[in-house]
Every structure is written in structure tokens, then in C-alpha cells.
């Protein structure tokens, strides 16, 4: 999955989609994931990164990541790799 | 080197202006409630399980003292009658009795409960439309205050009194137009159409009764102090009329319950704290009506209040646990808790305040909270702004002290433990969780159904 190029992420966790004019807020962990996506990391790499830093089991994280990424797609902020 | 790992929270994204500020999504709602009266929620759950009802003895006593003072500083003679149906766990009732409350009951078993708790018969107010002949006989023998609800009850008690050569102490329940609709005219005798006056005449002339008071209960969660003023005016007018016609002075005027707690009524656009007038305003209006009435100053009646929810709602908490998170077909977040409308019956009419019980991030999202029942109606909150909760996290529903531990249903899950935290911060179980044995104890198996082969 890749984040749409035009999507802007601020330091403070505000997301702006110039294509629609919509803005969003995210919690710190979501901001971190978005930054990693922006840096062209894959979901698998992101998973490893988060597992190292946070107190969470792999199964829970996998579920949450998959839910989060499908939500990003639903919101039109990300798309499947071509 | 090993590093302490950070607390995990689900990643969430939310569109701005999409309901963050709607309804009751105030910032205070996401302040975590990690302890109740100094006892950590974690410890309570570890010792007593989840879900768990928790009551604060300190809060009950403080609230009672506060409300009692509000009334007694405005009117010389005031008594509270603890409304058993609001919460009849014996430990809770006894806190109110220790504070000086009489008992207000509406059924034979509640009456018996009050007696067994040690309330003297002449300090039990017996309300309600469903008193059996046996109930009436017992109440009569104990000199209790019997509040007549309808003419059939009058005739029944009249007969029992005549046969038993005992004069029961009675009042009538009066219903009336107080400017708040609908009028609760199913209960008692109507003021405006003369029913109440006619019942009073029957009682006064029968010779079989001692008429001691007048009663009303004008509604539930009343937001208009003026309604109580009108009720007090009308009962005071009847008081004077009885004095004038029969030369008889009543002992008390009982204005029932119905004073609001700071809960959030469903459908209201303001949270309870902003909606509910201060209790002082109710007390002012009531006291002014009685003091300014035509009742002679030396004959001012005792004022009885039967407040339930006002006195206990805030002292009750329900701790629960997040079972799962889901996304609904609309994309909305849903969180499933281990308590639903079976335990938190009042979520049918209140938007209970729900707080996380552990430290959380500042981020919040709009979620729908469901209970564990396999039914669509099992909604604890249709919409609430909460930080992302993980499976296993605890939440605390607040202002749940009234009507839940009496109206809860044993459906799909068992009724949980109820704990009281005493003035010293020590928890005590005051009602044990039900178990399969509790249920099976009540059942009988006909012999021909005892065995089967599959
Ligand atoms: C006769 C009577 N008194 C007192 C109460 C207690 O009411 P509340 O909890 O609203 O104060 C009720 C409740 O319905 C009632 O019917």
C-alpha cells in the first residue's frame, strides 16, 4: 500500500488531503505509521518497527494495521500498489 | 541494552469536524478515572472481577448531607424517605437509615425488607397501587403510613380496619396539573377534577381512618422547579380545606421524588450538568409555597421528600472491560464491552458518562459502545468520544447508582458483584455475583425429563 503523494503530514499530527480539502487528526502512533508510509516503507517493515518500540503482540498489531490501512484507503488517502 | 517499550494504542485517523464536538463529546469525558475513592480500578477488578458495580459510601453520605442541608435551611421540618426501588441493596438502605432517612416502599417485599433492616413500622411509607390485603393488614398493625392510590384500595382498607378495630394512618396520593406533561394521572386521585377532595371526604367521614398526610410524586427527572411549587401549593390548599371543614390538622405533606441527578438524558442537547437546575431552586420553591400558604405557622406540616436518583446516582459506578473493537459497515468504530443493557439498564434512557480507567493519549474518536448481548438493542452509547481503547482495557460508567441494581436483568450473563467502598477506603462485597447455581436453585426438573440420549 502507498500513501498518495499529495497527502501532507504535519509534525503535530494533522493530515491534509489537497485533493479533497479534507483534514484529519491522528494519534501519535498513527502519525508515526504515516511517516513511515511516506518514507516508502512496506507494511511488513512498519510492523517490525512498531513491534520493537511498542508493548503489543504481533497478532493484535497485524489486525490493527490491516484495519488502519483499509481505513486509509476508504478515506482516499492511500491506494494499493499498482 | 533493553529499552522499556511504549504503551501501545491502536492507530486511528479521524476527519476533523466529524462529530468531535457534537453532543457530549466534552474534553472532560476522556479524563481517565483510574481509581474510585482512592482504590485503583485495577485492584478492584483483580479482586472482584469485571463487570463490577462499585458504590462510594463517602459520596452517599456527603450527598445526603448536602441535600438535607439545602432543605432544612429553608423549611423547619424535613424528613427524607429512602425510595427502596431506586436501590434496595440492604447496605445502601442502611447508609440512608443511618443518615436519618425513613423508608419509602411500593411493594410487599420492599416493605418486608425495610422491616428486616430495622426500620420502625411507623417510619415506613407504603406507596403504590399494588398492596394486597395481607400487606395492608401488616402495615396497619405496624402503624405504617399507608398512601392510598385508588378507591378500591380505600374500600378494602376500610373493611380491614372495621374488622380489625384498628385505625390505619393514611394519606392519599394526589395527581395534578403542574405544568409538566404528561400528567402522571394513573396514580392516585386527581386534584383538578375533585377526585382527591372527594376521597378525602370519604376518609374523614368513614371514622375508620386517621388521616395523617397528603402525597404526590409528580414525575421523573423533573427539570422545572416551578412544578414542585405548584404541587406544594395544591397540597397546601387541600391541607387548609381539611382544617377548615373538619377541624383536623394533617401531620405531613410528602412531595415524592423526581428531583434530577446530573445525568445526561437521551435526546437532550445539553449535558446533565448544564441542564439540571441547582437543587436549591427546587427547595426554595417548595419552602416558599408552604411558608406562604394559608397554613397557620404553628401548624406547618412535616415536609417529606422521597428522592431516589438525586441521592444515589453519582455514588454508583460500573466498571467494565473492552472485549473487542470492530468497524461497522459504515466505517464507524464500534467497541464491545462486557456489560450491556442487561446490567446497565438505565442506558435505555441516559447517555452515561464513560471514562477509560487507564492513562490514554489525547487523541479521541467517535465510537459506538455495545454490550455483549446477542441483540441489536444492546447499545450502551450510540455515540461517545473516547480515546482508542484496546482489548482488555477497562472503562468506568458513571452516575449509575439509581435503578440499575434493582432493574438489572439476568440475561445471557450473570449479575456481577457489587462492592461498597467504605469511608476509610476499604472495599466490601455487598452483593455477590450470581452463578449458574443461583439460577438452577430455582428450577425443578420433572422426572420424565431428567435423561435423554443424543
Ligand atoms: C412514589 C415514588 N416516590 C419516589 C420515587 C423516587 O423517584 P426519583 O428516583 O426520581 O427521585 C419514585 C420513583 O418513581 C416514586 O414512584
Residue extents of the structural domains in chain A: 2-77
* Maximum pairwise Cα distance, chain B: 93
pLDDT in tens, B25-57: 444 457 899 999 999 999 999 999 999 999 999
Do B438 and B366 form a contact (C-beta atoms < 8 A)? no
Strand partners, B304: B79, B254
- Relative to beta strand B78-83, strand B379-386 is unpaired
Q: Are residues B285 and B366 in the same domain?
A: no
Say yes or no: B216 and B148 in one domain: yes
Q: Compute the distance from residue B230 Cα to the ligand 1 centre, in Å.
A: 18
Coil, strand or helix at B350? strand
Query: Inter-chain contact B363–A68, Cβ cutoff 8 Å?
Result: no
**Chain centroid to CA A54: how far?**
16
Average per-residue pLDDT in chain A? 88
Residue corresponding to grid cell 408552604? B290
CB atoms A26 and B363 under 8 Å: yes
Residue B2 is predicted with a pLDDT of: 58
B248 burial via Cβ count (<10 Å: 0-12, 13-18, 19+): middle
Strand (E) positions, chain A? 2-3, 8-9, 14-17, 22-26, 54-55, 78-79
What Å distances lie between residue B219 and A3, A64, B158, B185, B350, CA to CA?
Answer: 57, 47, 29, 10, 16
Q: Which residues 281-320 on chain B approach chain A with CB closer than 8 angstroms?
A: none
Backbone angles phi, psi at B266, to 5 degrees: -60, 140
* Burial status of residue B205 (CB atoms within 10 A of its CB: 0-12, 13-18, 19 or more): exposed
Q: Which of B49, B36, B110 is nearest to B429 (CA)?
A: B49
Pick the CATH number of A2-77 from 1.10.4030, 1.10.3470, 1.10.443, 1.10.10: 1.10.10
B110 CB less than 6 Å from ligand 1?
Answer: no
Of B172, B316, B374, nearest in space to B256 by CA: B172
List of chain A residues whose C-beta atoms are within 8 Å of the C-beta of residue B10: 27, 29, 64, 67-68
Cis, bond preceding B51 (omega within 30 deg of 0): yes
C-alpha atoms less than 13 angstroms from C-alpha of B450 in its C-beta half-sphere? 4
Q: Are residues B207 and B282 in the same domain?
A: yes
**Together in a domain, B241 and B351:** no
Residue A80: predicted pLDDT? 79
Pairing mode, strands B379-386 and B394-398 = unpaired
Task: Judge contact between B124 and B102, C-beta under 8 A.
Answer: yes
Cell 497527502 belongs to A7
- What is the distance in A from the centroid of ligand 1 to the CA of B448? 47
Q: Chain A partners of B390 at a C-beta cutoff of 8 Å?
A: 60
Q: Which residues of chain B have pLDDT under 70?
A: 1-3, 17-29, 268-272
Quick one: pLDDT at residue B271? 66
Q: Using CA atoms, how far apart are residues A35 and A7, in angstroms rounded to an integer?
A: 11
d(CA B256, CA B259): 9
Q: Are B110 and B406 in contact (CB under 8 A)?
A: no
Residue B362: name the closest of B381, B344, B385 by CA. Answer: B385
Q: Does B331 touch chain A (CB under 8 A)?
A: yes
3-class DSSP state for residue B411?
A: coil
Nearest CA in chain A to B390: A60
DSSP B454: -
Residue nearest to atom 13 of ligand 1 (CA): B257
> What confidence score (pLDDT) does residue A4 get?
86
* DSSP 3-state of B149: coil
Residue nearest to atom 4 of ligand 1 (CA): B257
Q: Is B271 in the pocket of ligand 1 (CB under 6 A)?
A: no
| Strand pairing category for B52-56 and B316-327 | antiparallel
Q: Grid cell 487523541 — which residue? A: B363
Closest partner residue to B13 (CB to CB) among A54, A60, A72 is: A72
Has residue B449 been placed in a domain? no
Residue recorded with cell 427539570: B223
* Set of chain A residues whose Cβ sits within 8 Å of the Cβ of B30: none
Which residues partner with B336 through β-bridges? B324, B370
Residues B39 and B95 in one domain: no
**Rg from Cα positions in chain A:** 12
Q: Is any ligand 1 atom within 6 A of the Cβ of residue B306? A: yes
Same domain for B237 and B380: no
Query: In CATH, what number is assigned to the domain containing residue B208?
Result: 3.20.20.10
Domain count for chain B, please give it.
2
Rounded Cα distance, B53 and B319, in Å: 6
Q: Is B258 in the pocket of ligand 1 (CB under 6 A)?
A: yes
Pocket test for ligand 1, best of B92, B103, B104, B308 (most atoms within 8 A of CB): B308
Q: Which among B6, B331, B363 is the nearest to A54, CB-wise?
A: B6
Residue B186 sits in the same domain as residue B303? yes
> pTM surpassing 0.90?
no
Work out the angle at residue B278's Cα, subtended by the Cα atoms of residues B272 and B280, and round it to the nearest 5 degrees: 155
CA dihedral B326, A16, A46, A70 (to 10 degrees): 30
ipTM summary value? 0.94
- The C-alpha angle with vertex B385 and arms to B381 and B389, in degrees rounded to 5, equals 90
CA-closest candidate to residue B173, choices B160, B184, B182, B164: B184
User: What pLDDT sits at residue B26?
Assistant: 46
Residue B242 preceded by cis peptide, ω within 30: no
- Identify whether B73 is part of a domain: no
DSSP annotation string for B206-271: HSS-EEEEEE----SS---HHHHHHHHHHHHHHHHHHHHHH----SEEE----PPPS--BTT-SS-
Task: Indicate if ligand 1 lies below 6 Å from the C-beta of B127.
Answer: yes
Residue A36 DSSP code: H
Q: Write the Ramachandran bin of B118: left for phi over 0, alpha for psi from -120 to 50, otherwise beta.
A: left
The enclosing domain of B410 has a CATH number of 2.40.37.10
The helix, strand and coil proportions of chain A, stated in percent and rounded to the nearest 5, come to 50, 20, 30
Residue B223 and residue B155 share a domain: yes
Domain extent at residue B397: 35-54+315-435
Could you say which residues from 389 to 428 on chain B have a Cβ atom under 8 Å away from some Cβ of chain A? 390-391
How many C-beta atoms surround the C-beta of residue B71 within 10 A? Answer: 21
Answer yes or no: is B98 within a domain.
yes
B323 and B252 belong to one structural domain: no
Mark whether B355 and B289 lie in a shared domain. no
pLDDT at position B89 is 98
Contact B11 A27 (CB under 8 A): yes
In whole angstroms, what is the distance from residue B74 CA to residue B7 CA?
Answer: 53
- Is residue B293 located within the same domain as residue B392? no
- Please tell me whether residues B325 and B177 are part of one structural domain: no
A14 to chain B nearest CA, in Å?
9
pLDDT of residue B93: 98
Query: Does A54 contact chain B (CB < 8 Å)?
Result: yes
Strands A22-26 and A14-17: antiparallel
Amino acid at each position: 500500500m502507498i500513501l498518495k503523494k499529495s497527502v501532507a503530514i504535519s509534525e503535530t499530527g494533522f493530515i491534509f488531503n489537497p485533493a479533497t480539502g479534507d483534514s484529519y487528526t491522528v494519534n501519535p502512533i498513527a502519525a508515526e505509521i504515516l511517516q513511515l508510509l511516506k518514507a516508502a516503507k512496506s507494511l511488513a517493515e512498519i510492523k517490525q518497527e512498531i513491534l520493537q518500540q511498542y508493548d503489543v503482540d504481533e497478532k493484535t498489531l497485524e489486525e490493527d494495521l490491516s484495519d488502519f490501512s483499509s481505513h486509509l484507503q476508504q478515506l482516499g488517502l492511500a491506494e494499493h500498489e499498482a | 541494552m533493553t529499552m522499556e517499550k511504549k504503551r501501545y494504542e491502536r492507530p486511528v485517523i479521524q476527519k476533523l469536524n466529524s462529530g468531535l464536538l457534537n453532543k457530549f463529546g466534552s474534553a472532560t469525558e476522556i479524563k481517565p478515572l483510574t481509581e474510585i475513592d482512592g482504590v485503583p480500578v485495577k485492584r478492584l477488578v483483580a479482586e472482584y472481577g469485571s463487570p463490577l458495580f462499585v458504590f462510594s459510601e463517602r459520596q452517599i453520605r456527603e450527598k445526603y448531607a448536602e441535600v438535607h442541608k439545602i432543605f432544612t435551611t429553608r423549611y423547619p421540618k424535613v424528613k427524607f424517605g429512602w425510595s427502596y426501588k431506586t436501590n434496595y441493596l440492604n447496605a445502601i438502605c442502611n447508609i440512608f437509615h443511618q443518615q436519618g432517612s425513613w423508608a419509602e416502599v411500593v411493594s410487599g417485599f420492599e416493605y418486608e425488607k425495610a422491616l428486616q433492616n430495622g426500620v420502625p413500622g411507623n417510619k415506613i411509607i407504603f406507596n403504590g397501587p399494588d398492596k394486597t390485603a395481607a400487606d395492608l393488614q401488616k402495615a396497619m398493625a405496624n402503624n405504617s403510613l399507608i398512601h392510598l392510590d385508588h378507591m378500591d384500595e380505600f374500600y378494602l382498607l376500610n373493611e380491614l380496619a372495621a374488622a380489625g378495630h384498628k385505625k390505619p394512618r393514611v394519606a392519599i396520593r394526589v395527581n395534578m396539573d403542574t405544568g409538566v406533561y404528561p400528567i402522571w394521572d394513573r396514580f392516585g386521585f386527581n386534584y383538578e377534577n375533585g377526585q382527591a377532595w372527594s376521597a378525602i371526604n370519604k376518609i374523614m367521614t368513614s371514622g375508620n381512618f386517621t388521616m395523617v398526610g397528603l402525597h404526590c410524586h409528580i414525575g421523573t427527572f423533573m427539570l422545572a422547579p416551578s412544578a414542585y411549587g405548584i404541587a406544594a401549593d395544591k397540597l397546601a390548599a387541600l391541607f387548609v380545606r381539611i382544617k377548615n371543614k373538619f377541624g383536623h390538622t394533617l401531620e405531613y405533606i410528602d412531595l415524592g421524588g423526581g428531583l434530577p441527578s446530573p445525568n445526561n438524558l437521551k435526546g437532550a442537547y445539553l449535558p446533565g450538568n448544564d441542564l439540571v437546575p441547582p437543587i436549591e431552586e427546587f427547595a426554595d420553591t417548595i419552602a416558599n409555597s408552604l411558608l406562604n400558604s394559608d397554613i397557620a405557622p404553628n401548624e406547618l406540616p412535616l415536609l417529606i421528600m422521597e428522592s431516589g436518583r438525586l441521592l444515589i446516582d453519582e455514588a454508583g459506578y460500573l466498571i467494565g472491560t473492552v472485549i473487542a473493537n470492530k468497524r461497522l459497515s459504515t466505517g464507524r468504530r464500534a467497541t464491545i464491552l462486557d456489560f450491556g443493557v442487561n446490567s446497565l439498564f438505565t442506558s435505555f434512557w441516559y447517555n452515561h458518562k464513560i471514562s477509560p480507567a487507564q492513562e490514554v493519549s489525547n487523541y479521541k474518536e467517535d465510537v459506538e459502545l455495545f454490550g455483549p448481548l446477542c441483540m441489536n438493542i444492546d447499545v450502551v452509547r450510540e455515540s461517545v468520544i473516547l480515546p482508542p481503547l484496546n482489548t482488555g482495557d477497562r472503562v468506568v460508567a458513571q452516575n449509575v447508582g439509581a435503578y440499575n441494581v434493582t432493574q438489572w436483568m439476568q440475561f445471557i450473563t450473570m449479575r456481577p458483584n457489587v462492592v461498597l467502598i467504605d469511608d476509610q477506603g476499604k472495599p466490601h462485597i455487598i452483593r455477590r455475583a450470581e452463578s449458574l447455581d443461583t439460577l438452577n436453585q430455582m428450577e425443578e426438573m420433572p422426572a420424565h425429563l431428567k435423561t435423554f440420549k443424543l
